[in-house]
Structure 1
Amino acid sequence: MTRSFEQLTEAQFDDFAQGHQAGSYLQTSAQARLLARRGWQTALVGLVEDATVVAAAVLAWIPVRMGNLFQIDGGMLIDYSNQTLVNEFVAGVEKFAKSHNGLFLRVVPNEIYRRYDNEGVQIGAANEAPMTTLTTAGFKHTPAPKGWTTNASPSWQYVKDLTPVLAADDADKALRQSFAKDGKYYLKKTDQFGIKLRRLGREDLTDFKALTQHTADRLDYHDKDLEFYQIVFDEFEDDAYFVFAEMDFPAYIAGQEAARDHLAEVVADLDARIAEKPNYKKLQRQRAEYADQHKQHEKRIAQAQVEREKAGQDVVVIAGSLFLATANEMIYLYSGTYDEYKNFYGPYAVQEYAFKQAVARHIPHYNFYGISGVFDGSDGVLGFKQGFAGFAEEKVGTFVKPINGPKYAIYSLLKKLMGR
């Protein structure tokens, strides 16, 4: 048995990565091309045994003070319980990095340390294997921090298992039924509102960027630039879903008017029955209920007319998101919502669209991506995602190993002195 560390072709890499249980968009040839267009150098590397790839990673590097930072984000795609395999892979990466002025190697595995229910109670046992194997291989470990980041893949995420839905006779029905109470309620509202979903073309990305920038400005975080979204569109092709939820005001108002007029007839009928039986309290309660619903439709019509006039157009974007698909995962990556249209619940409709695409492609895992890791009710993003009935995951953290020990010691000291 002979194993060798080699650079792989895109076909070799993707064939292996797409079938790996820890595979994600971060470990694809498309992501390697994206990084290359964003200023990184990249290589698809792996261990090959008897012409079969047994471990692989997208290896990327970029200049920093005193050398190059080498990084494997979302990898390695490897059996972390096999110390020998990990040692051989790391040795291959180190040799490659030394020949390319490597300063240090940072690995952020797509491995789950612990899983939690919606109350933050741990589910099952912790996965210690990656920490044990990588520290034995000479890495320094930093556990997954709580909180938010827009500069790296998240340490905490919220996910949903779609295998029960895929096994159902009526997958669409099973999907809706699998959601939590809040998710079902708001999706029923989007059905009533007639929210339309539209997958975007490249020519629509300027509008998508306007939406995400609006949201970033409102919530005070840094958004990706337009070029990034264009590169994602180009490199991930059919696996990239840029989606808008849109409100058609004339259609919405017509639907609300029809519901209002029907309720007016119901209330009039109840008035006639109450006149005949004035002491029948059940009829009076029904009338009050239907009259209140009638008022709600009147209110929605008035609000929509104001919003339509303000927008100066009949159809408006209310929310949008970017999703990326791989063989085993649909991931919710970036999104935006126009605050003035939040009462139309567009984000729920966008999520269901992506869920349906995952089901159609027989993708077994849905990844809502980042949450803060705090379960005290303060994380509104977590609350939204919980509406779709999944569970939380804490990743294993970050691992760093010097490539050039003396230079890395000086680099680390300088960073500390500079407070970075």
Structure 2
Amino acid sequence: MTRSFEELTTAEFEAFAQTHADGSYLQTASQARLLARRGWQTRLVGLVEDHKVQAAAVLGWIPVKMGNLFQIDGGMLIDFSNQELVTEFVAGVMAFAKEHRGLFLRIMPNAIYRKFNDDGDQIGTDNRTVIDALTAIGFTHTPATQGWTTNSSPSWQYVKSLQPVLDAGGDSKALRASFAKDGKYYLKKTDQFGIKVHRLVKDELPAFKALTQDTANRLDYHDKDLDFYETVFEEYGDDAYFVFAEMDFPAYIKGQQQARDHLAEVVANLDTRISEKPNYKKLKRQRAEYADQHKQHEKRIAQAQTARQEAGKDVVVIAGALFLATANEMIYLYSGTYDEYKNFYGPYAVQEYAFKQAVARKIPNYNFYGISGVFDGSDGVLGFKQGFAGHAEEKVGSFIKPINSTKYAVYRFLKKILARG
């Protein structure tokens, strides 16, 4: 039978998208609803053969000068090695777009061009399948670029496979054992500090917005508005994890005091032994080490007491993040940290919480999302994510094809003139 390009029901689309290897939160019915509430027109479209979906996408469009920009972000969900299928799907999109004043079509596939280890060395070979499939039918390709963007999906991302953890039974020990040295160290610290993590209810979203805005102001980037976060909460439902890491100052101070007092006893015992064996250098080295640890706990107690007084409350938010779950991956999307509490390592506790949710849901991949694509040590975000032992990926970039060639040429010309002005 011949294939037909059709609008899909939510059930038809989700049944296909949730099992597709390239599925992401960008290609879900929830994302289509979110885009619609943010001013986009959206449709769930696909190629159907014998009542079975062969390819699908969230197709969105929005007005620009001289027509509508049509866009498929994170898709389409298709076998790009099947040129006939790709050609037919794009033809269906183009025909639909022409009926809706389409000016040009932009596709940003959720496809990986190259993979890299933590040193920036390439793993394996280039994957040109998507590039070749789309350029063969007239798309102009813009490769991924290094650097940061908050306006679109990142060109570079850091990911980790959870399949080995799932294969090992998925318990917390197997999960933490899979992390790198730094991740294990700082998570041990959050255990010692008694950092607590909880999932937010909708009434707590203004506090989440306050956290992310504080971080955006400090790092000089544009944060999403509260309405966006509320829309995500409503449209993604159980698949949206808004999370806070909190410090309980009385509990923290009590734990530090207990550790300090224990070390004081150890030092006193060593003093007694040293008085009996004054020439035993090993005892003196041990005393110096434990005495230094004692001072560190004293310092932490003093810092926490000051912070508690300044906060005017016993429990404070120290970090938070938003994660979105699909059948294929748990993705780390937006986050914030209060700078005055950075020494409590809240972001590590938040990440481990999301990892545990992913494992509980048997999600095989964890996506830390954006990095700069620079491996010279200047990307602190990459350094943080490397603490959880994954690898970097460079996406294939974006692709543009005119829908109305004459108007698109004028549109491009006007953009260049305005840019010069």
Do Structure 1 and Structure 2 share a fold, with TM-score over 0.5? yes
TM-score by length of 2: 0.99
The equivalent residue for 1:184 is 184
The equivalent residue for 2:64 is 64
Aligned-partner Cα distance in 2 for 1:169–1:400: 44
Secondary structure of the residue that 2:377 maps to in structure 1? coil
The equivalent residue for 1:361 is 361
Aligned-partner Cα distance in 2 for 1:207–1:370: 24
The equivalent residue for 1:310 is 310
The equivalent residue for 1:418 is 418
- Unaligned ranges ≥5, structure 1: none
1:190-225 residue CA offsets vs partner (Å, 9 max, x unmatched):
000000001000000000000000000000000000
Q: Structure 1 170/234 Cα, relative in aligned 2: closer, same or farther at 3 Å?
A: closer
Matches within 5 A, 1:241-320: 241-320=241-320
Secondary structure of the residue that 2:34 maps to in structure 1? helix
AA aligned to 2:210 is A
AA aligned to 1:255 is G
Matches within 5 A, 1:112-127: 112-127=112-127
1:169 deviates by 3.5
Between 57-66 and 277-286, the greater mean CA deviation after superposition: 277-286
Answer yes or no: is 1:4 the counterpart of 2:8: no
Aligned-partner Cα distance in 2 for 1:270–1:197: 39
1:53-109 residue CA offsets vs partner (Å, 9 max, x unmatched):
010000000000000000000000000011100000000000000000000000000
The equivalent residue for 1:401 is 401
CA contact (8 A) 2:102 2:404 kept: yes
Secondary structure of the residue that 1:179 maps to in structure 2? coil
Aligned-partner Cα distance in 2 for 1:167–1:107: 35
Secondary structure of the residue that 2:341 maps to in structure 1? helix
Secondary structure of the residue that 1:257 maps to in structure 2? helix
Aligned-partner Cα distance in 1 for 2:114–2:231: 33
AA aligned to 1:285 is R
1:137 deviates by 1.3
CA contact (8 A) 2:144 2:156 kept: yes
Q: Structure 1 279/120 Cα, relative in aligned 2: closer, same or farther at 3 Å?
A: same
Secondary structure of the residue that 2:172 maps to in structure 1? helix
Aligned-partner Cα distance in 2 for 1:358–1:95: 39
| RMSD of aligned alpha carbons | 0.7
1:170 deviates by 5.5
Aligned-partner Cα distance in 2 for 1:288–1:41: 68
Matches within 5 A, 1:204-223: 204-223=204-223
Secondary structure of the residue that 1:354 maps to in structure 2? helix
Answer yes or no: is 1:42 the counterpart of 2:42: yes
Secondary structure of the residue that 2:68 maps to in structure 1? strand
Aligned-partner Cα distance in 2 for 1:15–1:126: 31
1:171 deviates by 2.3
CA contact (8 A) 2:113 2:127 kept: yes
CA contact (8 A) 2:170 2:359 kept: no
CA contact (8 A) 2:187 2:348 kept: yes
Count of aligned pairs between the two proteins: 420
1:20-44 residue CA offsets vs partner (Å, 9 max, x unmatched):
0000000000000000000000000
CA contact (8 A) 2:103 2:403 kept: yes
AA aligned to 1:153 is S
The equivalent residue for 1:385 is 385
Percent sequence identity over matched residues?
77
- Unaligned ranges ≥5, structure 2: none
1:223-259 residue CA offsets vs partner (Å, 9 max, x unmatched):
0000000000000000000000000000000000000
The equivalent residue for 1:100 is 100
Aligned-partner Cα distance in 2 for 1:328–1:170: 16
1:310-363 residue CA offsets vs partner (Å, 9 max, x unmatched):
000000000000000000100000000000000000000000000000000000
Q: Structure 1 170/18 Cα, relative in aligned 2: closer, same or farther at 3 Å?
A: closer
TM-score by length of 1: 0.99
Secondary structure of the residue that 2:335 maps to in structure 1? strand
AA aligned to 1:122 is Q
The equivalent residue for 2:133 is 133
Q: Structure 1 332/67 Cα, relative in aligned 2: closer, same or farther at 3 Å?
A: same
AA aligned to 1:295 is K
1:2 deviates by 1.4
The equivalent residue for 1:374 is 374
Please list every run of at least 4 consecutive aligned residues from structure 1 whose deviation after the TM superposition is greater than 2 angstroms: none
Aligned-partner Cα distance in 2 for 1:393–1:15: 27
